[in-house]
Amino acid sequence: MLKGKKIVLGVTGSIAAYKSALLVRLLVKEGAEVQVVMTPAAKEFITPLTMATLSGRPVLCDFFDTNSGNWHSHVELGLWGDAMIIAPATAATLGKMANGVADNLLVTTYLSMKAPVFIAPAMDLDMYSHPSTQRNIDILRGYGNNMIEPASGELASHLCGKGRMEEPENIVARIKDFFFSGRLLTGKKVLITAGPTYEKIDPVRFIGNYSSGKMGFAIAQECASQGADVTLVAGPVSIATPHPSIKRINVESAQQMYNTATEAFPQCDTAILCAAVADYRPSSVAEKKIKRTGEGMTIELEANPDIAASLGKIKRDDQRLVGFALETNDGENNAREKLAKKNLDFIVLNSLTDKGAGFAVDTNKVTIIDKEGETRYPLKSKSEVARDIVKHLSKLLLVLLFILLPVSLDAQELNAVVNLNTSKIQGTNTEVFESLKDALSEFINNRKWTTYNYEDYERVSCNFTFIVDEYSDAGEFSVTLMVQSTRPVYGSSYNSPLFMYEDKVRFNYQSHDRLEFNEDNLDNNLTAVIAFYAYLILGLDMDAMGEMGGSDLLTKAQNIANNAQNLSDTGWRAGSGNSNRFSIIDDYMNGALEPIRQLMYRYHRLGLDTMYKNADAGRKVITETFALLNEAYANRPLAYFTKLFTEYKQDEFVNIYFKKGTSEEKQSVVKILSEINPSLSTSWDKILKDR
Ligand code: PMT
């Protein structure tokens, strides 16, 4: 996919330099030509020989080749590369890049680079969060560089926190994304409001709010990086905007912001209204400082214009309008009301009750709501939130452009590998097997199974392995199907098992048949079975994404199981006792197993996803979820799903508790596991006997 792309990879002196070896390998594997440039300090961490061997090119470290005396031209490198990646980028190199301190070949190459630059910082958490590092990052971002934020996790210092260089696979994905999708807003004109407004009371006092402008400025930065011409109408804030494509207009009051925004909007394709605008202003402004009288005083207020609603009224069909909703209670309802009332295309809800979200902080947790539905995002840095908003916007603008074209814009939810094993029936028609495998892969991967917007990184990986037990030339198949899936643990490169099951399926398939699925008319056992597992897997994942998220998908799976009784295959209700397909979902949806549904959410979303940022806190949540497992087991001891859960999570449980956690934690967990699934005692013993 990166075939023919020329990439300059800058490596600096960090313990994470070992990861850049893998990065070179992955880039080369994708077909890229990689030229490695190392700082002198980087050579202390990884040898140029390793990097030269992997990239197939001599590594450049010095201004001159000490043997031949040849000059290594950073200018030529700057013209040669289609992209430059600096990974890992230390605090020292970030500082040099931000301030033009050109004392090594890597920095001179950076300063000469004509192509886009991607920077993946790596350092200890305190260094990363230090204001000087953050300022340098802001400056570099402002120059239009693409930051690849470090992940959270255990660092070389054994401390836990943000600073770990992003995994090479994810860096390659970002690069591919860049080359593949191009810039999302090229040629677009975007109006952005940001920051607070100040409403004067007298020459020294005002009514204001806590907005720092960080969210709106991050959006302006992202839009500019994605190729837009930005007009940023900024309330009184102290943030710089060095990006050349951002035209900044400073205002103070809501009325000034209104005047500027309404004048600019007709020339724009889109407006994103992130400012915290005062709804009221003092009816009159005292000319002189109001003196203290010792008595109480009343300030009469009058309504300010609503900028969003006014732009909503003059919005043309070819324009898009995005608003924010800052709520303290009943967020979704209030946001939906504002969406409709202000004629917005979508609204970004953030709540002051979410820790780390809203005013002044560097992070935010948002839900994007439009007429179609809503997408919840986890807590992220404001620049990452800005990326999500811009991605959402770009889809709308694209839909606007190609309104009649059937473009599928969201990532499909499932990322499935289909395996077809025919070793049991050698010597028969191979064409039909090839055709079946392709049809299955297309059926599972190219279908949008939900109305939710999945990001690429949220895709659920799964394996559908079909072992063909019997096949007749009439196209009758009898297969053993093994379904296995994992969900990504956010902020880590780890995947957590969601579901594993073995099944027997009978169906008919002829070469070149396309696989079609109609929920109301199940006449194909194969597609019904696949759809059943797809909804089951995604339902479990959506439960992991939000407390109510997956219920509707699990209901779909349950409906398929209910309606599929007349299909040729009897596996829907057959099988030993509780282990047929019908029972799996029935158990899960049954009220008695409601604790399992809650468990899936708490275990994954609150437990595992936290664990990779803060191991002890995450493990504590996970330990608490075992009470829910126990409750489900007590309600219905024979339920197959409970047992299945302990089976497919056994390795993960061992990983979580082996040599970690307190002995009380281990004992409480093992007591429950041993009762539910005594046959796995070897694993449970491992948890206990680890010291
Ligand atoms: O600046 P930060 O410190 O980074 O904080 C970011 C933020 C919390 C300010 C931002 O994320 C945010 O939520 N901005 C909107 C705050 C707000 O005023 O929300 P609201 O629900 O009151 O307003 C709804 C929408 O109408 C907003 O798009 C607002 O810009 C717009 N509005 C409101 C009143 C008004 N008179 N004119 C408007 O255009």
More confident residue, 13 or 579: 13
Which of the residues 146, 170, 209, 343 is marked catalytic?
209
CATH, residue 331: 3.40.50.10300
User: In this structure, is residue 265 part of a structural domain?
Assistant: yes
Return the closest-CA partner of residue 246 out of 141, 113, 347, 118. 141
Same domain, 391 and 481: no
User: In this structure, is residue 184 part of a structural domain?
Assistant: no
Half-sphere exposure of 149 (CA within 13 A, CB side): 19
For residue 409, the model assigns a pLDDT of 44
For residue 407, the model assigns a pLDDT of 36
Same domain, 529 and 410: yes
CA–centroid distance, 326 to ligand 1, in Å, is: 6
Alpha helices in 32-90 (DSSP H): 48-55, 74-80
Contact call for residues 364 and 355 (beta carbons, < 8 A)? no
Residues with CB under 6 A from ligand 1: 193, 195, 211-216, 254, 273-277, 279, 304, 306-308, 323-326, 338, 350, 358-360
Which of residues 331, 366, 401 is at a domain's end?
401
Same domain, 232 and 344: yes
CA–centroid distance, 482 to ligand 1, in Å, is: 50
* DSSP secondary structure letter of residue 476: E
| 379-404: average pLDDT | 77
Same domain, 520 and 628: no
User: In this structure, is residue 38 part of a structural domain?
Assistant: yes
**Tokens (6 digits) for 521:** 């008319």
Alpha helices in 446-547 (DSSP H): 525-545
The three-state secondary structure class of 293 is: coil
What are the tens digits of pLDDT across the range 595-617? Answer: 887 888 889 888 998 887 788 89
3-state secondary structure 447-465: CCCCCCCECHHHCEEEEEE
Half-sphere exposure of 175 (CA within 13 A, CB side): 36
Same domain, 373 and 407: no
CA–centroid distance, 358 to ligand 1, in Å, is: 10
Same domain, 203 and 231: yes
User: In this structure, is residue 284 part of a structural domain?
Assistant: yes
- Tally of CB atoms within 10 A around 354: 17
Which of residues 401, 426, 445 is at a domain's end?
401
Question: Quick one: which H or E segment has residue 432?
Answer: helix 430-445
Distance CA 592, CA 572 (A): 21
Same domain, 446 and 562: yes
Residues 6+ apart with CB under 8 A from 29: none
**Tokens (6 digits) for 209:** 């709010």
Same domain, 173 and 206: no
CA 184 to centroid of chain Cα atoms: 17
Contact call for residues 278 and 197 (beta carbons, < 8 A)? yes
For residue 495, the model assigns a pLDDT of 83
Q: Is the pLDDT of residue 410 over 80?
A: no
Same domain, 607 and 586: no
| 538-545: average pLDDT | 81
| 14-38: average pLDDT | 93
| 91-99: average pLDDT | 96
CATH, residue 44: 3.40.50.1950
User: What's the domain range around 157?
Assistant: 6-179
More confident residue, 639 or 283: 283
Same domain, 385 and 434: no
Beta strands 246-250 and 83-89 are: unpaired
Per-residue pLDDT band at 141 (split at 50, 70, 90): confident
User: In this structure, is residue 90 part of a structural domain?
Assistant: yes
CA–centroid distance, 274 to ligand 1, in Å, is: 5
Contact call for residues 412 and 445 (beta carbons, < 8 A)? yes
User: In this structure, is residue 1 part of a structural domain?
Assistant: no
Work out how many domains the chain is built from and give that number: 4
Contact call for residues 218 and 260 (beta carbons, < 8 A)? no
- 209 catalytically annotated: yes
Same domain, 125 and 195: no
What are the tens digits of pLDDT across the range 151-195? Answer: 776 766 676 677 789 889 888 878 876 775 556 787 789 999 999
- Tally of CB atoms within 10 A around 440: 21
What are the tens digits of pLDDT across the range 439-491? Answer: 998 899 888 888 777 777 778 889 999 999 999 988 899 999 999 998 888 77
Phi, psi (5° rounding) for residue 501? -160, 150
DSSP string, 145-192: PEE-PPEEEE-TTS-EEEEEPPPHHHHHHHHHHHHHH--TTTT-EEEE
Same domain, 169 and 253: no
Which of residues 154, 179, 204 is at a domain's end?
179
Rg of the Cα trace of the chain?
29
User: In this structure, is residue 431 part of a structural domain?
Assistant: yes
CA–centroid distance, 302 to ligand 1, in Å, is: 19
User: In this structure, is residue 573 part of a structural domain?
Assistant: yes
Residue 405 burial by CB count (10 A; 0-12/13-18/19+): exposed, middle or buried?
exposed
CA–centroid distance, 617 to ligand 1, in Å, is: 33
Per-residue pLDDT band at 500 (split at 50, 70, 90): confident
State which amino acid sits at residue 274.
C
Instruction: Give residue 449's region: left, alpha or beta (phi > 0; psi -120 to 50).
Output: alpha
Indicate which atom in ligand 1 lies nearest the CA of residue 358.
Answer: 8
Q: Whose CA is nearest to atom 18 of ligand 1?
A: 276
